[in-house]
Structure 1
């Protein structure tokens, strides 16, 4: 590396270290973010409609919901037209908002058994990738199964779609090692090519929930590269001149906590990042004497340890790497 290149690389690293993530905002307290589990935000291009997943604590009953912005508030969520019967989760909109991808255990054909998966001796609801297409009347059409090697196996999670149609996702496949890794399936004239595993580091580390920039300039994901504050934190990698991904960087500031952070997704404004987080209010002991009403009220609040949706601003981190729009 030339001395000039070294100085440039060092300056970028220093800028990233000093860049901050602004304090987060809980999304729709009590309406979208509740005492249940909420993850995987997907926002329409106009920013006025939000799709997300809600489930029980064990995440055995996942359903996709939708809410609409009403002034500075969000409407009471409703189950989307294509969900509510199967284990549906992790909605992701194409950048133009005309397709909504999601994963589901629904059978490929009516009358077949649901998709099941097995790992470490445990059997659980499997997932394949599906999408719905926006119709002329604005409603969603019937779910379509994504054919090809992308859906090999039954453990595909958190799709994220680039502007050119490439789909990033996390999965456990033959070349994943013991954990989950991140893959990309390139869109071609003949459909989706065989998925390629992203070279983000050794396979000892678990990597999940990719969130790709529409222009594929950067990638955010959940995992633990050895410096996580909790069971999983959020990391960012940048596309380098040769097309490879940079070494992942632990996102700075308040975006990561000692709780689980995962399922990142980009908002529609520069720097907006939606995150699922299990952070909670701290209980100090001795606490004020509870009666049944105060206890129930506190336990039913969003910040009770369940995962909620948060909105952060990572604009400074992106600008530090030369991305300003």
Structure 2
């Protein structure tokens, strides 16, 4: 989802939010951490997807007013993320929200880049690049096309192992806000998209969903929810024995803050939940000189979009 300057992030704080502290799906000793200290070099970054061998990751960097975005690749060297570079197909338009498919041979993303036979930037569509192997170069971007892309905005693609595509759309704003849609892959083409059930979507904002490879759970953001901690919170929903998503659960204040949390990605290998947050620890810290003020402004948890991680136990979350 695109967070432009016109979107008001209303804070809905409830006195009882402290009771959301735990689903026991993550230990009280587990803490939200910066994804890596090397990411501090980026003033504003968001979205995160990692390869199954844990050796490469892709994420979005953007300017401070979030009008410019580019997709960056990073390589893991001795447990540290290094060798950052803008990917070959990005940097000119606003490319955001990369997602590596489970086989790592396609990278999907959202972009306002021009369509075929045009030069003007337009609405946000879902695009992808592909490669023959994980060591091969990426192809030129291809538009996913109809029935997924429309005259409206499509954001945050996430695919299961069978090719089913989950994404965010603002197509239904006459009856709701942003919703999460599913387009099933039938082996030949994508079928007409459907909205997920009322346990996921509502009349408000639901967006930026990560679907597990086996489609047994979904992680996503709900904005302004009655049981939220403020702004947008991360939620999880599991499927029942009939394949229907159950009522969503707030992930609690060990993960969520009173600021925006969004763009989740769960890595089964490391059991890390990666997500973006605009949390801020600078508000109540004193700066007595310019040097101290600049240090606060440049600190990682400074209210700008940053990528974080926390280790969670999905099975334990489901039991609770």
1:113 Cα deviation after fit: 1.8
Segments of 4+ in structure 1 off by > 6 A?
none
* Partner of residue 35 from structure 2, selected from 21, 27, 35: 27
The 2-side partners of 1:196 and 1:189 are apart by 18
The 1-side partners of 2:217 and 2:196 are apart by 13
1:322 Cα deviation after fit: 5.7
The structure-2 alpha-carbon separation of the partners of 1:203 and 1:268, relative to structure 1 and needing over 3 Å to count, comes to closer
The 2-side partners of 1:274 and 1:314 are apart by 10
* Aligned residue in 1 for 2:96: 89
The 2-side partners of 1:176 and 1:246 are apart by 25
The 2-side partners of 1:189 and 1:19 are apart by 35
The 1-side partners of 2:118 and 2:61 are apart by 26
**Secondary structure of 2:295's aligned partner:** helix
Q: Tell me if 1:160 matches 2:158.
A: yes
The 2-side partners of 1:322 and 1:289 are apart by 49
The structure-2 alpha-carbon separation of the partners of 1:134 and 1:89, relative to structure 1 and needing over 3 Å to count, comes to same
Structure 1 unpaired stretches of 5+: 1-15, 116-125
1:268 Cα deviation after fit: 4.2
The structure-2 alpha-carbon separation of the partners of 1:289 and 1:33, relative to structure 1 and needing over 3 Å to count, comes to closer
The 2-side partners of 1:106 and 1:284 are apart by 40
Quick check: 1:176–1:203 contact (8 Å CA) kept in 2? no
CA deviation string 1:82-101 (max 9, x = no partner): 10111111000100101000
The CA RMSD measured in Å over matched residues stands at: 2.1
Quick check: 2:282–2:296 contact (8 Å CA) kept in 1? no
The structure-2 alpha-carbon separation of the partners of 1:153 and 1:284, relative to structure 1 and needing over 3 Å to count, comes to same
Q: Tell me if 1:303 matches 2:301.
A: yes
CA deviation string 1:152-211 (max 9, x = no partner): 123111111100000101111137723100011100133100111001346322100000
The 1-side partners of 2:243 and 2:128 are apart by 28
Count of matched residue positions in the alignment of Structure 1 and Structure 2: 294
The 2-side partners of 1:80 and 1:153 are apart by 27
* Partner of residue 102 from structure 1, selected from 109, 125, 130: 109
Q: Tell me if 1:219 matches 2:218.
A: yes
**Secondary structure of 2:203's aligned partner:** coil
Taking structure 2 as the reference length, the TM-score comes to: 0.86
Taking structure 1 as the reference length, the TM-score comes to: 0.84
CA deviation string 1:95-148 (max 9, x = no partner): 010100001111121443221xxxxxxxxxx21111000135511011111122
* Aligned residue in 2 for 1:231: 231
The 2-side partners of 1:55 and 1:173 are apart by 25
The 2-side partners of 1:284 and 1:168 are apart by 39
The 2-side partners of 1:247 and 1:128 are apart by 29
**Secondary structure of 1:188's aligned partner:** coil
The 2-side partners of 1:320 and 1:145 are apart by 36
Alignment of 1:43-82 (within 5 A): 43-82=50-89
1:297 Cα deviation after fit: 2.5
The 2-side partners of 1:249 and 1:167 are apart by 22
Structure 2 unpaired stretches of 5+: 1-21
* Aligned residue in 1 for 2:266: 266
Q: Tell me if 1:130 matches 2:100.
A: no
The 1-side partners of 2:40 and 2:239 are apart by 33
